[in-house]
Amino acid sequence: MATFLKRKATVVALAALSLTLAGGGIAAAAHPAAKAPAEVGQPGARQAGQQPPVTAAETRSAKAAMRATLAAPAPGLVAWAVVSSNGTLLQHSANVVSASRFAPSLPGQFAGQYQVTLDYAVNLKGLHATIGTNDAANVPPAGEVSVAPRYLIANAVFVQTRSSSGGYADRPFHLLIAN
């Protein structure tokens, strides 16, 4: 008789546990805070991460830069650039040819979008950017930065800077291209 009660108590305990877990799962699914991370989002309105369209002038300029004088840095070395918030190339390594800021008044272009052109293909290199300045105090403004190979231009890098709330904003940045 004692073993029968032990088995019955075990079954009842497991049934209660499974109902509790099932009820908790249903309650958690109904609760808005339990949504998947992709559905929750970050504070502030995020805009789509599209690159501006490539113009014929950009293509010609990039091809001319590929025919420049220097060869790509050896593996293990880096190319680098310091770019101001208005797109001016402040400091750079020898392989960096130019930097520019896209005009936010044109279709498909927003504040905080930049292009940095080099004299070698960077589409398979390691890219890193950080918000930064070259002033004496070197205290950069708050914000975010992302970097990617430039769409359809093998020797250019696209940089997007944002405010801390995620909106498009012009920010100075430092760029590293690891070879």
Residue 15: pLDDT band by 50, 70, 90 thresholds?
low
Q: How far is CA 16 from CA 39, 77, 110, 163, 173, in A?
A: 32, 63, 57, 50, 58
Helix (H) or strand (E) holding 145: strand 144-149
Q: Could you tell me what percent of the chain has a pLDDT over 90?
A: 48
Q: What pLDDT score was predicted for residue 1?
A: 54
In the three-class reduction of DSSP (H, G, I as helix; E, B as strand; rest coil), residue 23 is classed as: helix
Question: Which tens digits make up the pLDDT trace of 105-134?
Answer: 888 899 999 999 999 999 889 999 999 988
Predicted TM-score (pTM) of this structure: 0.71
Q: What pLDDT score was predicted for residue 22?
A: 55
Q: What pLDDT score was predicted for residue 32?
A: 47
Residue 158 to residue 149: CA distance in whole angstroms: 6
Mean predicted confidence (pLDDT) in 83-109: 93
Residue 8 to residue 30: CA distance in whole angstroms: 33
Q: Convert 52-82 to b/e letters by CB count within 10 Å (16 or more is b).
A: beeeeebeebbeebbeeeeebbeeeeebbbb
More confident site: 74 or 1 = 74
Q: What pLDDT score was predicted for residue 89?
A: 96
Residue 40: pLDDT band by 50, 70, 90 thresholds?
very low
Q: What pLDDT score was predicted for residue 5?
A: 52
Mean predicted confidence (pLDDT) in 43-49: 52
Sign of CA dihedral 52, 55, 59, 62: negative
